[in-house]
Amino acid sequence: MLTTVSDFSQFIQQAKAVGHSLCIRGLGSKDFYGNPSQGQDLSTLSYRGIIDYEPTELVITARAGTPMREIESALKEKNQMLGFEAPYFSDQATLGGVIAAGLSGPRRPYAGAVRDLLLGIRMIDGHGSDLNFGGRVIKNVAGFDLSRLMAGSMGTLGLVLEASLKTVPLPAFELSLRQICSLKEAIERTNHWAGQALPLSASAWVANQLHIRLSGAESAVHSAALKLGGETIPFIQAQQLWTSLRDHTHSFFNDSRPLWRLSLRSTAGELNIEGEQLIEWGGAQRWVKTHQSASHLRQLASAHGGHATLFKGKAPPDGVFHPLSPALEKIHRQLKKTFDPAFLFNPGRLYPDSNL
């Protein structure tokens, strides 16, 4: 079993020597995400535990194999949380997987994504080198910001073994509202509200209903709720709603059609797409269930300043993620070569070309 940093380093050096590619994996909650990849399993599960957590520093450092539940319950005990509301998509997820996938839940537009909270990492690259980037403090501009580069890299740049993340206090009070409105009206309203000093912390439009969450001081939340109007959702029901949106257990996601995620300008109007939509992040994240072609969806997303990802479904030949411009692809290849010259890590997971 691999338990120390040098165990992992040696394992990677051996894989490099014999030319084995590696599939980095925690609890496998996001096996469905990204392009298919093949290689020997490299499990992070034996490298787990919180290394350092001091609530007044607003920083937690933990090992990659640590279950998110463990991290989140340690934070909750001290009245804190990770602001991005990490999706689990199953019973369990690990810190390493959450960083590699770079996905965020409903609070993302208001509290930041994984990349926004990532302060430092310890990783092993394709040479087997033990590398530390960033640190355990909130403000740090020494060296290129390679910690944030790991968020959403799908494990293709190396094995992240430890990470430090910024924490935030749990909101003192939360209240969720429901309003009946059209998709167009929902986009209009959420963007309008976002331009005012209101304690918004989530929004979701689905099946002609707009759900809004407010978080903060009780007095401020009540005053904002009066201003926004709508029916108050009972607390437990609201919690279930936001968790079901975060983890895709909401009935919207129970469907055999391909599921697309469009990330675009929040004010983009109604899109010309067949199939149903669920809109989050004040209009900036749109989930679409549709059989329409990848090229159609990508074109639409590009036209609205964003990109389209096939979240669930059979990958098109150029992969589930939005193809890169030739100029950016060139840089991606160079970065991949820098960290992983033998192309060991998660080949093809980010883009089907395993040298990327």
Residues 276-295 within binding reach of other proteins (CB under 8 A): 281, 284-285
Q: Footprint of other proteins on residues 7-66 (CB under 8 A)? A: 9, 52, 54-59
Q: Mind giving me the DSSP string for 1-50?
A: ---SHHHHHHHHHHHHHHT--EEEESS-TTTTSSS---SEEEE-TTS--E
**Rounded to the nearest whole angstrom, what is the least distance from the CB of residue 107 to other proteins in the complex?**
12
Q: Is 307 in the site for other proteins (CB under 8 A)?
A: yes
Q: How many residues bind other proteins (CB under 8 A)?
A: 93
Please tell me the distance from the alpha carbon of residue 195 to that of residue 201, in angstroms, as a whole number: 14
Structure tokens at 270: 């109604």
**Rounded to the nearest whole angstrom, what is the least distance from the CB of residue 138 to other proteins in the complex?**
4
Q: Which is nearer to other proteins, 28 or 136 (CB)?
A: 136
Q: Which residue in 17, 180, 207, 217 binds other proteins (CB under 8 A)?
A: 217
Q: Is 145 in the site for other proteins (CB under 8 A)?
A: yes
Q: Which residue in 74, 228, 273, 324 binds other proteins (CB under 8 A)?
A: 324
Q: Which is nearer to other proteins, 139 or 291 (CB)?
A: 139
Structure tokens at 128: 């087997």
Q: Is 332 in the site for other proteins (CB under 8 A)?
A: yes
Q: Which is nearer to other proteins, 55 or 275 (CB)?
A: 55
Q: Footprint of other proteins on residues 159-188 (CB under 8 A)? A: 168-170, 172
Per DSSP, the three-state class of 130 is strand
* Cross-strand partners of 189: none
Give how far the C-alpha of residue 328 lies from the chain's centroid of Cα atoms, to the nearest Å: 21
Q: Interface with other proteins by CB under 8 A: which range of 3-11, 18-26, 31-39, 89-97?
A: 3-11
Q: Is 223 in the site for other proteins (CB under 8 A)?
A: yes
Q: Is 6 in the site for other proteins (CB under 8 A)?
A: yes
**Rounded to the nearest whole angstrom, what is the least distance from the CB of residue 223 to other proteins in the complex?**
5
Residue whose entry in the numeric block shows the structure tokens 């960290």: 339
313 C-beta neighbours (distance < 10 Å), count: 17
Which residues, 6 or more positions from 263, have their beta carbon under 8 angstroms from its beta carbon?
Answer: 284, 285, 286, 301, 306, 307, 308, 309
Q: Footprint of other proteins on residues 116-135 (CB under 8 A)? A: 116, 122, 125, 127, 129-133, 135
Please tell me the distance from the alpha carbon of residue 307 to that of residue 289, in angstroms, as a whole number: 16
Q: By C-alpha distance, which of 38, 39, 50, 157 is closest to 94?
A: 50
Q: Footprint of other proteins on residues 231-250 (CB under 8 A)? A: none
Q: Interface with other proteins by CB under 8 A: which range of 11-19, 39-47, 247-255, 263-271?
A: 263-271
Start-to-end C-alpha separation, the chain: 30
Please tell me the distance from the alpha carbon of residue 311 to that of residue 320, in angstroms, as a whole number: 7
Q: What is the CA radius of gyration of the chain?
A: 21
Q: Is 296 in the site for other proteins (CB under 8 A)?
A: no
Q: Is 199 in the site for other proteins (CB under 8 A)?
A: yes
Q: Footprint of other proteins on residues 64-103 (CB under 8 A)? A: 79-80, 102
Q: Is 331 in the site for other proteins (CB under 8 A)?
A: yes
The conformation of residue 345, written as its DSSP 8-state character, comes to B
Q: Is 141 in the site for other proteins (CB under 8 A)?
A: yes
Q: Which residue in 99, 151, 183, 241 binds other proteins (CB under 8 A)?
A: 151
319 C-beta neighbours (distance < 10 Å), count: 21
One-letter identity of residue 347: P
